[in-house]
Amino acid sequence: MTSAPQPAGYAELGVTSNFTFLTGASHPEELVLRAAELGLSAIAITDRNSLAGVVRAYSALKELRREVEEGLRIRSQHRTDASSRQPIGAPAALPRPVTGTLPRLIVGARLVLRDSDTDWIALPIDRAAYERLSRLLTLGKRRARKGECHLDLEDLAEGCESMILIALPPADLGRAMAPMRRLQRRFPRHVFLGAVPRYDGSDQDWFDACARLALATGAPMVAVGDVLMHTAARRQLADVLTCLREGCVIDAIGTRALPNAERRLKGAPDMARLFRNHPAAIRRTLEIAGRCSFCLSELSYEYPDEVAEGEPSQNRLARLAQEGLARRCPDGVPARYHAMADRELRLVGELGFAAYFLTVHDIVAYARSIGILCQGRGSAANSILCWALGITDVSPDLIGMVFERFVSRHRGEPPDIDVDFEHERREEVIQWIYTRYGRHRAGLCATVIHFRSRAAIREVGKVMGLSQDLTAGLSSQIWGLSNGGADPERLRELGLDPEDRRLAQTVRLIGEIIGFPRHLSQHTGGFVITRGRLDALCPIENAAMEARTTIEWDKDDIDALGILKVDILALGMLTCIRKAFDLMERHEGHRPRLDSVPSEDRATFDMLCRADAVGVFQVESRAQMNSLPRMRPQAFYDLVIQVAIVRPGPIQGGMVQPYIRRRQGIERVSFPSKALEGVLGKTLGVPLFQEQAMQIAVVAAGFTPEEADRLRRALAAFRRMGTIGAFREKFVSGMLANGYAPDFAARCFAQIEGFADYGFPESHAAAFALLTYVSSWLKCHHPAIFTCALLNAQPMGFYAPAQIVRDAREHGVEIRPVCVNASAWDNTLERRTDGQLALRLGFRQIRGFRQDDAARIAAARRNGYPDPESLWLRTALASAALERLAEADAFAAMGLTRRDALWQVRGLRAPAPLPLFADPLDGEGLAEPQVDLPPMHLGEEVVEDYVSMRLSLRAHPMELLRPGLPGLTPHADLATTRLHRLTVCGVVITRQRPGTASGVVFLTLEDETGISNVVVWPKTYDRFRHAVMGGRLLRVTGYLQREGIVVHLIAEQIEDLSPRLSDLGHPLGEMIGITQPQADDTPRPARHAPRIHHPRDQAKQLFPSRDFH
């Protein structure tokens, strides 16, 4: 028996990645790496009506090619849970490709049509064909809602010139004949019939039938694997994805399950055996691959260049920069500034980036022209051009600007400018960009929404038959952590058997699906703007949000291709500051700017040194408040460090404590070498910023600037693909070779890995520090204005309105309640008799109240409303709105109790009063007879305050509960009481479990005297997990620790007292709606959703915490 000849090669032309959501069972990166192992000549990523995954495949293959060419060890593959930023499982080395030649990537898409059951693989052969494919997909996507694509056969006939079209016919081959003949006539020599193995024993008969159809239509037959996964190990996951797509459980999947694991990538020998009777079908894969010469590297991006009145971009940029410097420096521009600007202008002109700077300038100028506060951040703060153009506000005197960190000649890539806008008005800027440049030239980047731990548990658990209670319980207990799989003890707590085979399979599948893309969403604000058509680069689709369009690629994709992105970001603190400036102008008679707030104000820094920072940007977290008294910032650059130091990079690198000790004079300032003194001088010899880590790589580890730049890029992808690992050995060995201590080298690299989790560059920290200082100054010198603006900018920040109001009252601000005769929609300020400002709560604080209803109240108020009926007659408010006002006690100024007001408004029966018949004395009358209702006690009033507004001005819940809870230490006493074992109790206002804290949980409790910080070590957390994660009122016993004014309670015992909150009183809806006599006996449906009646659940509704993990 003679052996079959070895095949010359094989190109897989039909591969579905997991960017065909809930279908493909492998990442694009896994597919191209497996193709390299198998020695494939080429691989075509062909997702359903999409190009979303092709850049990831391109980047992975490009990186693999570089590593092979340089002879580097292929990086270890790390997967990370996007929710917890924790590594999943142990690293596994990726095998080398078995051949020296890597596969070529063919870009394509599987076109699924509305009017045909024949799918088409479209493979562009050149750049022009790729642009047509992208525009074809855009056509289909813009016709449809988000996530869908409506294409017809006619669209293919009109838009697929110069593409290879491979028909994938249905089981009834005759149904494919007409469309194949039509496209074959339209595109001769470009249409093929794809023969896909069935793997059911009928392959040869099926191939023979396909060959006959190919002969009849004139479309040659070509082998197609129709691949779903890179290895057979993903078969079960593929079935789970099918169940998620079809909405069924695994036990009901039936014939929809894959019958085997054959739809995996195969090498040339396997495919040759399958097509042994049709070897030409294998040869044609290579011929088609050879014709498809297009590569994503051919995409050339051109900046939008809006020439103004014939003025070249470079000239306009120079003119605007000089005008900006003169405006910034009214007393004369220092020569140093002119020199810096000239140097930057030369480099910008040399690299051709002028149009980019002008694009960002125009966007910022428009925002400022309509009164929107904005500020650039990130590396742009290193540019005096950005400062002169008004893009950034950090002056050259505040930080040392290093333009090369922003624009580099050797990188040859566009700079990245991020601009923050007020979060309530950013949409105005976004819509202006669409109007200015057109939707054919501007679109938002995509963001890939991945399966995170909780969603993976919930979805896979449902498919595998776990009950909803079990999946909810398992999800609630992991709190984002998945490292090492499920804890057997936790499974037993939930009534599960860790040895159960089905459960073990479920846990494994959960681990596999974590990190898989679930769908595309829109980026928070990353805009791609082009000179030509954007849809020639990438398909554009409708976003879920009205009037927005997005591209299919995310920020990593466009960065890999060198495409310009302008980040139009939203920042709540800018909204707060702008509203504070408005209030200052209205009530104080002057309006500051970000760059005109008095600098180096001693009272402001003293306030921060006391950790008096509730509401202050970037330094209001528990960790920041603990470090402020130890860091004792005295100048602006101290705030730059303060903002940057409580971040994963410095924390994981073990740099925080050494810096603080040096700052406090406990440890001598020293430098590892003379060479590093210039790098680390401003941070006392301790690396804290991302730029310092990159400089250490060059100065101490022997990296070239290009290698350091690759390391910088690897930071962005580390959380997803673990791409830093390949640099570790070179970095550490390079530092050791240059005489640095192994411990210092290891800590430096640990810091670099930490920067993958949101480390701050110095320039970015400086931009944020400016907002930190401005918000601190407002809080220090204008507390009523700051509090009013902060409440009007909600939701934002670390604390809920109840804590913001409590803090304001502690600072002497009078808070006045919501009142129908005094309140507006926003919180407002009222001048007191002593000249100080009091804060009047606005209607926006009432849960569920509409802004339109508030406007109607204000418009018809005139000299005030004497009673609820007159308000109703003038405004025609719906009964639900009137009830919300009564429940919020907004009629109190009329002399009405909450119950009296609710009784009266529920007695107003007509759906809307008519002005002609508005006399309440006419006919039957509209008002109900007076009824003596039982008075509410204080506890009931407090509960109803929280029900309606999430805060109370009457009393804190703990003030009322304390008499029944003996043995508690008030939180205000913790700063002075002796260090011993004690017990506190309070409402949980925040809980944190940072990824850098090794499983430690931090709780912030509040009682009527103040707040306390509780540290829960992992072993304690394991004992009291349910209370820690779900409790709203906790009694905690532990040992007190104090360092200066920083106080912690180290928890030993934790008790959930949430049901005690229900002891405060019964919800008013039950008292009025059920137990009290009604104005009529006609049954009426409930106006509100049913209340939660279990005390613990009710506590969660009334006293929600803000959890960060």
Average pLDDT over residues 879-907: 93
Q: What is the pLDDT of residues 569-612, one digit of tens each?
A: 999 999 999 999 999 999 999 999 988 899 889 999 999 999 99
Answer whether 149's CB lies under 8 Å from 137's CB: yes
pLDDT surpasses 80 at 760: no
Q: Which of 365, 369, 366, 367 is nearest to 386 (CA)?
A: 365
Helix (H/G/I), strand (E/B), else coil: 992: strand
Give the strand pairing for 11-15 and 1001-1007: unpaired
- The secondary structure of the chain in percent helix, strand, coil, rounded to multiples of 5, reads 45, 15, 40
Answer whether 325's CB lies under 8 Å from 333's CB: yes
| Burial class of residue 760, CB neighbours in 10 A (0-12, 13-18, 19+) | buried
Amino acid code (one letter) for 626: N
The overall average pLDDT reported for the chain is: 85
pLDDT surpasses 60 at 920: no
Average pLDDT over residues 779-788: 97
User: From residue 54, how far is each of 20, 27, 125 by CA, in Å?
Assistant: 11, 11, 15
Q: What is the pLDDT of residues 48-87, one digit of tens each?
A: 999 999 999 999 999 888 888 766 544 434 444 433 334 4
pLDDT at 1066: 53
| Percent of the chain surpassing pLDDT 70 | 84
Residues pairing with 570 in the sheet:
421
Strand order in the sheet with 442-450: 374-377, 417-422, 566-571, 517-529, 442-450, 549-554, 540-542
Q: Round to whole Å and give the CA distance between 40 and 289.
A: 11
Give the strand pairing for 86-93 and 76-81: antiparallel
Q: How far apart are the first and last CA of the chain?
A: 66
Domains and CATH numbers, the chain: 11-76+92-230+265-297 (3.20.20.140), 313-448+521-571 (3.30.1900.20), 449-518 (1.10.10), 602-773 (no CATH), 799-949 (1.10.150), 957-1066+1093-1108 (2.40.50.140)
| Residues with Cβ within 8 Å of residue 1023, at least 6 apart in sequence | 1054
Q: Round to whole Å and give the CA distance between 317 and 357.
A: 8
Q: What are the b/e assignments for 97-126, b being 16+ CB within 10 Å?
A: beeeebbbbbbbbbbbbeebebbbbbbbbe
Which of 133-137, 356-360, 375-379 ranks highest by mean pLDDT? 133-137
Which of 432-441, 636-645, 833-842, 900-909 ranks highest by mean pLDDT? 833-842
Q: How confident is the model at residue 43 (pLDDT cuts 50, 70, 90)?
A: very high
CB atoms within 10 A of CB 1043: 10
Q: Round to whole Å and give the CA distance between 685 and 748.
A: 12
Q: Round to whole Å and give the CA distance between 1034 and 1096.
A: 12
Average pLDDT over residues 887-900: 93
Q: How confident is the model at residue 230 (pLDDT cuts 50, 70, 90)?
A: very high
pLDDT surpasses 70 at 1102: no
Give the strand pairing for 86-93 and 119-124: unpaired
User: From residue 755, how far is each of 422, 711, 713 by CA, in Å?
Assistant: 27, 11, 11
Q: Which of 769, 754, 773 is nearest to 644 (CA)?
A: 769
pLDDT surpasses 80 at 459: yes
Give 553-608 as a DSSP string: EEHHHHHHTT---EEEEEEHHHHHHHHHHHHHHHHTS----TTTSPSS-HHHHHHH
Average pLDDT over residues 240-253: 93
Q: Round to whole Å and give the CA distance between 708 and 700.
A: 12
Amino acid code (one letter) for 868: P
pLDDT at 122: 97
Q: How confident is the model at residue 6 (pLDDT cuts 50, 70, 90)?
A: low
Average pLDDT over residues 652-661: 80
At residue 1036, φ and ψ (nearest 5 deg) are -120, 130
HEC string of 682-705?
Answer: HHCCCCCCHHHHHHHHHHCCCCCH
Answer whether 475's CB lies under 8 Å from 454's CB: yes
Q: Round to whole Å and give the CA distance between 1026 and 1023.
A: 9
pLDDT surpasses 80 at 776: yes
pLDDT surpasses 60 at 925: no
Residue with tokens 């005295």: 634
At residue 981, φ and ψ (nearest 5 deg) are -80, 130
Q: Which of 994, 992, 989, 987 is nearest to 1036 (CA)?
A: 987
What the block records as the tokens of 909 is 């029966």
pLDDT surpasses 70 at 708: yes
Amino acid code (one letter) for 362: D
Average pLDDT over residues 699-709: 81
| Burial class of residue 31, CB neighbours in 10 A (0-12, 13-18, 19+) | buried
pLDDT surpasses 50 at 300: yes
pLDDT surpasses 50 at 726: yes
What the block records as the tokens of 341 is 């600007």
pLDDT at 848: 92
CB atoms within 10 A of CB 734: 20
Give 244-291 as a DSSP string: HHHT--GGG-GGGS-SSS-SB---HHHHHHHTTT-HHHHHHHHHHHHH
Return the CA Rg of the chain: 33
Tell me, rounded to whole angstroms, the distance of Cα 332 from its chain centroid.
43
Average pLDDT over residues 417-437: 92
Give 503-545 as a DSSP string: HHHHHHHHHHHTT-EEEEEEEEEEEEE-SS-GGGTS-EEE-SS
Q: What is the pLDDT of residues 194-227, one digit of tens each?
A: 999 999 889 999 999 999 999 999 999 999 999 9
Q: Round to whole Å and give the CA distance between 774 and 760.
A: 20
Q: What is the pLDDT of residues 951-996, one digit of tens each?
A: 999 999 999 999 989 999 999 899 888 888 999 999 998 888 765 5
Q: What are the b/e assignments for 1051-1070, b being 16+ CB within 10 Å?
A: bbebebbbebbbebbbbbbe
Q: How confident is the model at residue 90 (pLDDT cuts 50, 70, 90)?
A: very low
